[in-house]
Amino acid sequence: MTIIVHHLNNSRSQRILWMLEELGEPYEVRRYERDRKTMRAPASLRAIHPLGRSPVVEVDGHRLIETGAIMDYLVGRAANRFGPPTDADGAIRYRQFLHYAEGSLMPPLLALLIIGKLGLLGRPARPTVQGMLDDHLDWIEGELASRPYFAGDAFTAADMMMSFPLEAACSRGGLNDSRPNILRWLSEMHARPAYQAALQAGGPYAYA
């Protein structure tokens, strides 16, 4: 049965297309476009799931939400391919980054997005939130100084999960060549053939 991905442009769902390309799984993309003024998902996504957010994936008779949970399911479905390393430290890092991407790194990036829309009203809050994000980026830069991938020596789903927030950080969080290890990692991710194939499948993507 073909996997169906309900995909919103410039969103977290791009990572799911990437994973499916890495796995070589057949899938169907159903595209949704953001409202150009509000940047919100269209109401039609609510017909798929009440929250009206993406990604939503239909697989094996299930309708799954939450990028990390979908990644976890797909890894298990593929007999642990792109899953945690076999060593204990690598397995811990894998699980940590799989959840850290959305649980800790995305909140300050979302706050900066809102602050940017507030104009002058948002300016007083920006230095504080930027400082919080800089702490994250400094830590990540140090992590990638000691190994090529987030979990260890091999590419895993943790790398796919970390891609979106770090791409967003380039766009609005001040991530630049002062943190070369992160940019090196991002460049390598973008060069992967499966990543490029996912861009073709998903359509225009502002962060690549």
| pLDDT value of position 152 | 98
The residue assigned the tokens 């169906």 is 4
63 forms beta bridges with 58
Is the distance from CB of 16 to CB of 24 less than 8 angstroms?
no
Provide the pLDDT confidence category of residue 56 given band limits of 50, 70 and 90. very high
Q: Between residues 46 and 195, which one has the greater pLDDT?
A: 195
First-last CA distance in the chain: 30
> Is residue 207 pLDDT above 80, yes or no?
yes
Q: Between residues 41 and 80, which one has the greater pLDDT?
A: 80
Tell me the domains of the chain and their CATH numbers: 3-81+194-202 (3.40.30.10), 88-192 (1.20.1050.10)
% of the chain residues with pLDDT over 70: 100
Is the distance from CB of 154 to CB of 128 less than 8 angstroms?
no
Across the range 150-166, mean pLDDT stands at: 98
Across the range 163-179, mean pLDDT stands at: 96
Q: Which long-range contacts (CB under 8 A, 24 or more apart) does 172-178 make?
A: 172/109, 172/112, 172/113, 172/116, 173/108, 173/109, 173/112, 173/130, 173/133, 173/137, 174/130, 174/133, 174/134, 174/137, 175/137
Is the distance from CB of 71 to CB of 161 less than 8 angstroms?
yes
Which burial class, exposed, middle or buried, applies to 106 when counting CB atoms under 10 A from its CB (0-12, 13-18, 19+)?
Answer: middle
> Is residue 168 pLDDT above 80, yes or no?
yes
% of the chain residues with pLDDT over 90: 88
Centroid of chain to Cα 75: 16
Residues 6+ apart with CB under 8 A from 112: 126, 129, 130, 133, 172, 173
108 upstream amide cis, omega within 30 of 0: no
> Is residue 62 pLDDT above 90, yes or no?
yes
For residue range 97-141, what is the model confidence (pLDDT) as tens digits?
A: 999 999 999 999 999 999 998 999 999 999 999 999 999 999 999
| pLDDT value of position 87 | 98
> Is residue 18 pLDDT above 80, yes or no?
yes
Rounded Cα distance, 79 and 65, in Å: 21
Range from 6-20, 31-45, 127-141, 153-167 carrying the lowest mean pLDDT: 31-45
Name the average pLDDT for the chain. 95
For residue range 178-187, what is the model confidence (pLDDT) as tens digits?
A: 999 999 999 9
Rounded Cα distance, 69 and 150, in Å: 18
